[in-house]
A and B are shown apart, each in its own frame.
Chain A
Amino acid sequence: MANYTENELAKDLENQEYKYGFVSDIESDKIPVGLNEDIIHLISSKKEEPSWLLEYRLKAFQIWKTMTEPEWAHVHYDKPKFNEITYYSAPKQTKKYESWDDVDPEMKETMKKLGISLEEQKKLTGVAVDFVMDSVSVATSFKAKLAELGIIFCSFSEAVKEHPELVQKYMGSVVPTTDNFYAALNSAVFTDGSFCYIPKGVRCPMELSTYFRINEGGTGQFERTLVIADEGAYVSYLEGCTAPQRDENQLHAAVVELVALENAEIKYSTVQNWYPGDKEGKGGVFNFVTKRGICERNAKISWTQVETGSAVTWKYPSCVLKGDNSIGEFYSVAVTNNYQQADTGTKMVHLGKNTKSTIISKGISAGKSQNSYRGLVQIHKSAQNARNFSQCDSLLMTDQCGAHTFPYIECKNPTAKIEHEATTSKIGEDQLFYCMQRGISEEKAISLIVNGYCKEVLNQLPMEFAVEAQKLLAISLEGSVG
C-alpha cells in the first residue's frame, strides 16, 4: 500500500461497514407502544416501584408535556415520534439468575460477540460488570467483594428497592426533571440503569463498568445512572456501548448524575459505538444524553469520552464546580463518518473559589459528516481565582464534511483566568511529507498523525478501556489508525 493516498483513505472510510451489527434473538417482554400516564403507571408497576418514584415520574411527565424539543444544536434529523416508541422492554425471564450458568446461553453469545465475556473479565481484569441488556440488568459480578468495602454497585431498580434513602436523596439533585426536554422524558419513563455508592474514605479497588446495548428494534432506551462518591472516596467508572444494526432510528435519552462530595474523585469514561446508520445516512441511533456532575469542596470529576457511533449525538457531559478548590475535566474524541452528526462538548460552571477546569476536545470528521463542539465556560461572581483552559481541535478528512466550534465563555469575576483555543485543519502536507521523507508510508503516516492527535485524550482512559477505545477508533477510521 505504498501509494495509499488521502483520497483512498477517504474512500475507505466511506466504505466502512458497522462491524458490531447483529441482532440477538431473545424474546422480549414489551409493553404497548406510546406514551401516556397509563404507560408510566404500567412501567412503575412492572418494576414494583414505591409510590414516591411513581409520583416523581408523573411529575416529570407533566413537565415534559409542556416542553418543546430543543432545536439549537447544529444537527438536522427527523424528530422521533414519541408516541410510536415502546417505553419498556425487558428480556423475558421467569426467575432471577442464581449463578452465571443460569444465564440464557444466547445472551452469553451476544456478550461474546461484543468482546466482553464476563468469565474472562472476572478472572483477568478484575472489572465488575453490571451488564444492561435493553433495560434490565441480568448479571452482576464482584458484588460480594465490593460489598465488603461497603460499596454499593447495582442496577438502578435494585437500588430503589434496597437503598431508597440514597436514591431519593440524590436522584434529580444534579439533573432536575425540569432541566431539558430529554432529561424530563427520561425522568418520566426510565426503565433501569446503574447505581453506585462509594462510602466515606473508600477507594474503589477496581474499575466499575457497565455495558449498554440497545437490542430490541423500535425500543427506546432510557437509562439512569447515579454515581455517588462520599467524602474522600474515589471511583473510576467505565461505560461502553455498542448496538446492533437497525434501519429505523432508535432513540437513546439517558441521564447520568455524578455526585462527588468533599475530597471525593470520580472518573467517568465512556466509549460509545452505537450504530451510526449506513453509508446513505439511513438509520442509526439518536443519542440525546444529559450527563452532569456536581463537585463539592476539593472534589474532582473527570469525564473522558470516545464517541464514534450514533447517527445524531447531542451530549454535553458537564461539571458544576460548586465547592472551593474543586476540579472539572473533560477529555473527548468525537469521530463522525458518512452522514453522522455530532454536537457535543461540555459545560463547566465555576461557582466555588479556586476552581479549575480543563477541556480537551478532538473532533475528527470524515465522509459527509458534521462534527460540532459546543461548550460553555461560566465563571460566576463567587468563583475567585477560577482557572479554565480549553482546547478544541478539529481534523477534516474530506472536503465534504464540516467541523464547527461554538464556545460560550462568560466571565463575571476579575480574578479568573480563561483560555480558549480552537483550530481547524486537515492533516498537514508538511507533517505527511516529514514522515514520508523518513521512509514511513503515507498510510502509516496518516495513522501516526491521527493517533498522536488523539493521544492526549486516549491517555486519560483507564488501561482496561484504552484497548477497547482503540479498537472502536480503528473501526470508525480503519486505514488511518494503525
Chain B
Amino acid sequence: MNSQQLDEMEMPTQTSKLNQFRTNFKEGNLSFDPSLRILSRSVLENSDFPTTRNESWKYTRLTKLSQLSLTTTEKINSPISVPLKSPYVISIVNGNIIDLPTIQGVSISRLSDCSEKQLELVCKNVSIENDVFHALNTLYIKDGILIEIQENQQINDAIQLIFETQESSIFCPIRIIIVGKKSSKAHFFQHFSGKGTGLTLPVFEYFIEQNAHLSLDKIQLENDESFHISTDQVYQERDSFFKINTITLSGKLIRNNLNILVNGENCETNLNGTYLLGDGQLVDNHTVVDHLKPNCNSNELYKGVLNGKSIGVFNGKVFVRPDAQKINAFQSNANVLLSEDASMNSKPELEIYADDVKCSHGSTTGQMDEEAIFYLRTRGISDRSARALMTQAFIGDVLNQIENEEIVDYVQSKLVELHDWVI
C-alpha cells in the first residue's frame, strides 16, 4: 500500500470511528472560554483516533477502544472505599463529583461554581489541536474541581482523590486543576479503580508557584477491561518542587501523558513510575520534561515487569531549550520480561540545545537473574517466593520513592493480592 492510499484512509468521514464513539455523549456547559469548545469540536470532527502511524501512538493500538459503545451516567451506588486514613477525601464516582471536603488552608470548589477568571486556567498549557483525547475531555466534561493550596500553607495529611467507576460501559472525563500557591506544600494521593469496560479520561492541570512544593502518588488499579488515558500537565515556576510516583497495578490499556514545563530557575522535578503487567494488559507511559530555564534538576526512573501477553511502552523526552544552562537531567528505564509473549518498547529521547548541561538516559530490557534465584533457592526459599522477592526488589527502587508509609503498605498489599505473592 502506498502512502497516498494510507493518507486517504486517514481522511475523516462522516462515520469516522471517533464520531461514532461520541454519539452518546452530551457536551458540558462549563463557562470557560467558548473558543476552547469550538476548537475541541472542530478537532473531533476533523480527525479520528490516532493510529500506530502517529509517532506518539506508535506502539499502542486503540482499535478495541474505538469499538466501544460508551455512555455517561449520573448514577452512584454503594459507598466508596477509601485506602488512607487521611480525612481529606475528594471522591469522583462514575465521573461525578460526590462531595468536597473542607480543608484548612485549601480552597476547593467545583469548576461549575468558579468565576470566569478562575476558569482561565482551563487548558492554559494543555494543547487541544494535536490531541483528540484532550479535545474529548474539554468538550464533554460536565464538571471539574479547582484545588488551591493557599500561600505559605503546609498541608500535612494527604489529600485523597478517589476515582471509582461502578458501572460498565461508562465514559468518565474529568478535569482537576491544582494550584500550589507561593511557598505552599501539599501531598496528593490519586486512586483509580473501576468495574467493567469503560474509558476513564482525566486531565490534571498543575500550577506550582514560586517555592511551592507538590508531591503526588498515583495508583492505577483499573479493571482488566477498562481503558484509562490520563494527562498530567505540570507547570513549574522558580524554586518549586514537583514529584510524581505513578504506580500502575492493573488495567486493560493505560496511557499516561505526563508533561512538565519547567519555567523557572532552581526547580526540582522527580518522575518515578512502575508497572507490573499481566496477560492482556498494555501500559504506555509518555513523559516530557521541558527545561525552559537554567539551573534545574530533573530525575526520572521508570521500572517495569511484564508477564503474560502484555505490552509495555515507555517514551521519555527531555528538552533543554537554548540558554537553559546548568541543567542536570537524568532518565532511566529498566524492564524485566517474564514471558514469551511480553514485549517492551522503550524510547528515551534527549533534545539538547544548550551546552553546559549534564544529561543522560539509560534503558535496559532483560530478565530475572537466574543465579540470584538459585542463591535464594539454596537458602530454602521456594521458587515462587524467590521470584516474588526479586520482583519486589526490582520495583523497590521506585516504591522507595513513596514517602508516605501508609501508601507503601497499601501498594504492597495490593501487589500480594494481585500477583499471589508468597513472601
Binding site for B on A (CB under 8 A): 66-68, 72, 74, 379, 381, 394, 396-426
CB <8 Å contact, A399 and B325: yes
How far is A411 from B340 in the complex, measured between Cα atoms in Å? Answer: 11
Indicate whether B105 reaches chain A with its CB closer than 8 angstroms: no
CB <8 Å contact, B343 and A410: yes
Contacts of B344 in A (CB 8 A): 409-411
Given contacts A66-B4, A399-B354, A399-B355, contact A409 B363 (CB under 8 A): yes
Q: What per-residue 1/0 map shows which CB atoms of B320-340 lie under 8 Å from chain A? A: 001101000000000101111
Distance between A106 CB and nearest chain B CB, rounded to angstroms: 45
Given contacts A406-B347, A424-B350, contact A414 B338 (CB under 8 A): yes
Most chain B CB inside 10 Å of its own CB: which residue of A66, A381, A403, A419: A403
Indicate whether B353 reaches chain A with its CB closer than 8 angstroms: yes
Indicate whether B352 reaches chain A with its CB closer than 8 angstroms: yes
Given contacts A420-B361, A426-B355, 9 further A-B contacts (CB under 8 A): A399-B323, A403-B352, A404-B352, A405-B348, A405-B361, A414-B339, A414-B367, A421-B360, A421-B363
CB <8 Å contact, B2 and A419: no
Contacts of B351 in A (CB 8 A): 74, 402, 404
Contacts of A424 in B (CB 8 A): 350, 352, 357-360
CB <8 Å contact, B362 and A404: no
CB <8 Å contact, A406 and B345: no
A-B complex: 5 closest residue pairs judged by Cβ atoms = A396-B355, A414-B337, A66-B2, A412-B343, A409-B346
Q: Please name the residue on chain A nearest to B319 by beta carbon.
A: A404
Contacts of B356 in A (CB 8 A): 399, 426
State the total of A-B contacts with C-beta under 8 angstroms: 122
How far is A415 from B336 in the complex, measured between Cα atoms in Å? Answer: 10
Given contacts A66-B2, A425-B358, contact A405 B350 (CB under 8 A): yes
Q: Which residues of chain B from 85 to 138 have any CB-CB distance to chain A below 8 Å in the complex?
A: none
Contacts of A406 in B (CB 8 A): 347, 349
Indicate whether B23 reaches chain A with its CB closer than 8 angstroms: no
Distance between B366 CB and nearest chain A CB, rounded to angstroms: 5
How far is A409 from B344 in the complex, measured between Cα atoms in Å? Answer: 8
Contacts of A418 in B (CB 8 A): 363-366
How far is A66 from B361 in the complex, measured between Cα atoms in Å? Answer: 38
A-B contact pairs, 6 of them (CB 8 A): A67-B2, A399-B355, A404-B349, A420-B361, A424-B352, A426-B357
CB <8 Å contact, B360 and A423: yes
Indicate whether B18 reaches chain A with its CB closer than 8 angstroms: no
Most chain B CB inside 10 Å of its own CB: which residue of A397, A409, A413, A416: A409
CB <8 Å contact, A425 and B357: yes
Indicate whether B70 reaches chain A with its CB closer than 8 angstroms: no
Binding site for A on B (CB under 8 A): 2-4, 55, 59, 322-323, 325, 335, 337-340, 342-367
Distance between B14 CB and nearest chain A CB, rounded to angstroms: 27
How far is A424 from B342 in the complex, measured between Cα atoms in Å? Answer: 32
Cross-chain contact of A404 among B323, B337, B350 (Cβ < 8 A): B350
Contacts of A411 in B (CB 8 A): 335, 337, 343-346, 365
CB <8 Å contact, B2 and A407: no
Distance between A163 CB and nearest chain B CB, rounded to angstroms: 33
Distance between A170 CB and nearest chain B CB, rounded to angstroms: 26
Contacts of A414 in B (CB 8 A): 337-340, 342, 367
Contacts of A74 in B (CB 8 A): 351
Contacts of A72 in B (CB 8 A): 55
CB <8 Å contact, A416 and B355: no
Query: By DSSP majority rule, is chain A's interface helix, strand, loop, or mixed?
Result: strand
Most chain B CB inside 10 Å of its own CB: which residue of A401, A410, A411: A411
Distance between B337 CB and nearest chain A CB, rounded to angstroms: 4
How far is A426 from B355 in the complex, measured between Cα atoms in Å? Answer: 6
Contacts of B360 in A (CB 8 A): 421-424
CB <8 Å contact, A407 and B3: no
How far is A423 from B343 in the complex, measured between Cα atoms in Å? Answer: 26
Q: Please name the residue on chain B nearest to A374 by beta carbon.
A: B349
CB <8 Å contact, B347 and A409: yes
Contacts of B350 in A (CB 8 A): 394, 403-405, 422, 424
CB <8 Å contact, A394 and B365: no
CB <8 Å contact, B349 and A397: no
Cross-chain contact of B367 among A401, A409, A415 (Cβ < 8 A): A415
Q: Please name the residue on chain A nearest to B348 by beta carbon.
A: A407
Q: Please name the residue on chain A nearest to B344 by beta carbon.
A: A411
Q: Please name the residue on chain A nearest to B338 by beta carbon.
A: A414
How far is A417 from B369 in the complex, measured between Cα atoms in Å? Answer: 11
CB <8 Å contact, B347 and A66: no
Q: Please name the residue on chain A nearest to B307 by beta carbon.
A: A414
How far is A127 from B389 in the complex, measured between Cα atoms in Å? Answer: 59
Contacts of A412 in B (CB 8 A): 343
CB <8 Å contact, B3 and A417: no
Cross-chain contact of A420 among B323, B325, B363 (Cβ < 8 A): B363
Most chain B CB inside 10 Å of its own CB: which residue of A413, A414, A422: A414
CB <8 Å contact, B345 and A409: yes
Cross-chain contact of B345 among A410, A416, A419, A420 (Cβ < 8 A): A410
CB <8 Å contact, B3 and A66: yes
How far is A425 from B361 in the complex, measured between Cα atoms in Å? Answer: 12
Cross-chain contact of B352 among A67, A402, A415, A420 (Cβ < 8 A): A402
Q: Please name the residue on chain B nearest to A427 by beta carbon.
A: B355
Contacts of A396 in B (CB 8 A): 352, 354-355, 357
Contacts of B322 in A (CB 8 A): 399-400
CB <8 Å contact, A407 and B357: no
Cross-chain contact of A405 among B339, B340, B349 (Cβ < 8 A): B349
Given contacts A399-B356, A402-B352, contact A408 B347 (CB under 8 A): yes
Contacts of A399 in B (CB 8 A): 322-323, 325, 354-356
Q: Please name the residue on chain B nearest to A371 by beta carbon.
A: B352
Contacts of A67 in B (CB 8 A): 2-3
Distance between B300 CB and nearest chain A CB, rounded to angstroms: 13
Q: Please name the residue on chain A nearest to B311 by beta carbon.
A: A412
Most chain A CB inside 10 Å of its own CB: which residue of B322, B353, B367: B353
Contacts of B347 in A (CB 8 A): 406-409
Q: Please name the residue on chain B nearest to A63 by beta carbon.
A: B2
Distance between B308 CB and nearest chain A CB, rounded to angstroms: 11
How far is A285 from B335 in the complex, measured between Cα atoms in Å? Answer: 41
CB <8 Å contact, A408 and B353: no
Contacts of B325 in A (CB 8 A): 399
How far is A309 from B360 in the complex, measured between Cα atoms in Å? Answer: 27
Given contacts A419-B364, A422-B361, A422-B362, contact A413 B337 (CB under 8 A): yes
How far is A414 from B305 in the complex, measured between Cα atoms in Å? Answer: 11
Contacts of A379 in B (CB 8 A): 365
Contacts of A405 in B (CB 8 A): 348-350, 361
Distance between A65 CB and nearest chain B CB, rounded to angstroms: 9
Given contacts A66-B3, A426-B356, contact A416 B349 (CB under 8 A): no
How far is A410 from B314 in the complex, measured between Cα atoms in Å? Answer: 10
Q: Please name the residue on chain B nearest to A426 by beta carbon.
A: B355
Contacts of B346 in A (CB 8 A): 407, 409-411, 420
Contacts of A415 in B (CB 8 A): 367
